[in-house]
Amino acid sequence: NGRHARDELMAPTVGAGYHTALTMAVFADMEYYRVNWSMAEPMGCGNSSGCEFLEKCNATDNLAGKYPRMFCDAKETLRCTSDRRHFGTCTASIAENKGSSVNEDVCPAVSSDFHEISSGTTYRTCPDENVRHLRGSLTGGGSWCLDAELLEKQDRNGHKSVKAVCAQVSCAEGTVKAKYLGSSVCQRCPQGTEISVTLSGLGKLEDQVTEVRRGVHHCRQR
pLDDT at 178: 80
- Please, which pLDDT band fits residue 29 given cuts at 50, 70 and 90? very high
Q: Check residues 49 and 3 and name the one with the higher pLDDT.
A: 49
pLDDT number for residue 156:
57
Of the listed ranges 152-156, 159-163, 164-168, the one predicted with least confidence: 152-156
Q: So where are the chain's domains?
A: 21-219
Domain formed by 21-219, architecture: Roll (2.30)
Residue type, 150: L
Q: How far is CA 60 from CA 45, 53, 101, 107, in A?
A: 17, 8, 17, 10
Question: Does position 85 have pLDDT exceeding 50, yes or no?
Answer: yes
Work out the average pLDDT over 42-51: 70
List the alpha helices (DSSP H) in the chain. 21-30, 63-66, 209-213
Tell me the per-residue pLDDT of 104-150, one tens digit each, with 9 for 90 and over: 777 788 877 666 666 666 666 888 887 766 667 888 888 888 887 76
Q: How far is CA 41 from CA 6, 37, 84, 161, 219, in A?
A: 14, 9, 15, 32, 11
Question: What is the rounded distance in angstroms from the CA atom of residue 208 to the CA atom of residue 185?
Answer: 19
pLDDT mean over 154-171: 71
- Give the pTM: 0.70
- Summarised one tens digit per residue, pLDDT across range 175-219 is 788 887 777 777 777 776 677 666 555 556 655 555 555 444 334
